[in-house]
A and B are shown apart, each in its own frame.
Chain A
């Protein structure tokens, strides 16, 4: 199929989506009958109404929906010189996806082991890091939400936020200073006589995993804190009075109550880890396998944007499918967690 046809879909789809949205809004009004609120322009006035529609419309269509659709379309195109784009050779193809699975047609290996392994590893390690983040944050979140006095909570909050004003790259850089072969940890260990010669923490990916664990801690902390905060303290007291051991209280009372918060923190941290670019670029050793730098290299080393788009899409779909699957497992809705 020629790629010009794709354009019809790309621009047609947002129109259909907008129509669908208006239709559901209209249907909802119909259903409410006389109880329905005033019509949109009556309610907001012409000037404000136009501002609302223009701002939201431009945002949704030109900044969110169209770019994503374009990327999908692009990922099915062959790499061509600029002059031939849109020409007779610009036909839809599965080559870019084929490359992810099997490598170039010239390679003798059966599967594209390097890239597939990088993707699997990225997802698995992101899961582990998310779990570790939760384990680190939960006691602090519980302490702030249920134990500490308000004045102390405000102070702790400020202290929590402070490190996150420093940008991601510098935070990763800090870990490089800590863990480099010449870094403070190696030096201390050598001077203490524990080590004979420096350990290559960065080459062994210790630096990468430590940096990633550190990077998004805050985004686990706040949702979990918020969720625990509105748990009625009497419930904990009651359980304690009835003789529940402390771990029962956490496992069967606090955590189930905080489930939406935990899920939202975990989703954010997982997605940010899987999509992290700064930490792998700064802390990755020569043999590190993280998927985002591979996507990055498609663009800036292979100069194959079409393939890069396909790789980006593979990453996005894998993550989304995984997150939705886990949410389903825990019987949570996406709407519930994103609040």
Chain B
């Protein structure tokens, strides 16, 4: 027999791995947990212990903070607009990517992926400078407001994210489906809406979620492009710079609660979808077996 490492050394390795994983997640969640606790403690400086007494006042203070609420509304609105812009644009970007080749493809790729690597600050600055000058050219002030600039600035790189999601799914698309539909007399537009889009549906969903979240939590681009307006993150940044206050911790707790609820919901939906897919497969398998039986019999 070849000399395998001793069993005991394997056990040691396993224990060490487990310990490291634990340590890692402690590092990942520790800071957030500490912040979470301060949201329920009474002192006005965010403090974990001594835990003086349990309170929900900081949540009440948060809900009554007009700037924060206004910023939150703007953030939702901007996030929605960014989804509406960057999902269709990313989809178009991905489809075009599958139809260009060789040199044209690498050149195109370089241009559309560059915003992913450009620091957000720079995207924000260039967006403001460009559109400010556009007023001079077009003579309208319509282009120069915080919401418009933020949607354009954020979409410029979020559309690249969504494009990458669509691209990953498109790579597994069987073009035979498309050709079959056309051979059966469907127009290209019909193929797009009845073959391609249904196939891409999960990707559309993921892209929309990613786009919304990226927009909602963006600060670097927004702080420039929002001009005199405000979003949740810009209000938050101002508050954090002024000083520390447990109502900010309360906001974090609220965000985490919503996220966990969302993640659980997502997981439930996914499991249901998985189950359905398995059922369909089984039904198809059964039908196929019947067919085969019919042919041989």
Identify the A interface with B (CB < 8 A): 20-21, 24-25, 27-28, 31-32, 37, 40, 43-45, 47-48, 51-52, 55-56, 58-60, 62-68, 70-71, 74, 86, 136, 139-140, 143, 147, 156, 158-163, 165-178, 180, 182, 184, 187, 214, 217, 241, 267-268, 271-272, 274-278, 281-282, 292, 295-296, 299, 305, 308-309, 312-313, 315-316, 319-320, 323, 334-335, 338
5 A–B contacts, CB within 8 A, in A order: A31-B102, A52-B96, A63-B153, A66-B130, A277-B120
B255 touches A178 (CB 8 A): no
Contact partners of B152 in chain A: CB under 8 A: 62-63
CB distance from A331 to the nearest CB of B (A): 17
Q: How far is the CA of A214 from the CA of B27 in the complex (A)?
A: 9
Known A158-B263, A275-B121; contact A177-B38, beta-carbon cutoff 8 A: yes
Query: Is A70 within 8 A of B34, CB to CB?
Result: no
**With known contacts A165-B256, A166-B32, A241-B2, A64–B20 Cβ distance under 8 A:** no
Q: How large is the interface on B (under 10, 10 to 19, 20 to 34, 35 or more residues)?
A: 35 or more
With A55-B92, A278-B220, A295-B121 in contact, do A70 and B133 touch (Cβ < 8 Å)?
yes
Does the CB pair B122–A170 fall under 8 Å?
A: no
| Given A182-B47, A275-B120, A316-B122, also A281-B155 (CB < 8 A) | no
Q: How far is the CA of A57 from the CA of B47 in the complex (A)?
A: 52
Q: Total contacts A to B, CB within 8 angstroms? A: 253
Contact B28 A163 (CB under 8 A): yes
Contact of A70 among B35, B46, B129, B189 (CB under 8 A): B129
B55 on the A face (CB < 8 A):
no
How distant is the Cα of A214 from the Cα of B220 in the complex, in angstroms? 17
Given contacts A147-B17, A312-B122, A338-B109, contact A172 B240 (CB under 8 A): yes
Q: Which residues of A contact B256 (CB under 8 A)?
A: 162, 165-166
Across-interface contacts of A282 in B (CB, < 8 A): 237, 240-241
A321 to chain B: closest CB distance in Å?
13
With both chains docked as a complex, state the minimum distance between the C-beta of B238 and any C-beta of chain A, in angstroms: 10
Contact for A180 among B49, B112, B244, CB less than 8 A: B244
Q: Which of A45, A143, A169, A182 contacts B17 (CB 8 A)?
A: A143
User: Cβ of A217: which chain B residues have Cβ within 8 Å of it?
Assistant: 28
Write out the residue numbers on chain A whose beta carbons fall within 8 Å of the beta carbon of B6: none
Which B residues lie within 8 Å of A173 (CB)?
35, 240, 244, 248-249, 252
**Interface pairs A-B: 8 shortest CB-CB:** A275-B119, A45-B188, A55-B92, A63-B156, A167-B217, A67-B126, A174-B31, A67-B130
B58 interfacial by beta-carbon distance below 8 Å:
no
Taken together as a complex, chains A and B put the C-alpha atoms of A312 and B2 apart, in Å, by 61
**Cα-based distance from A184 to B77 in the complex (angstroms):** 37
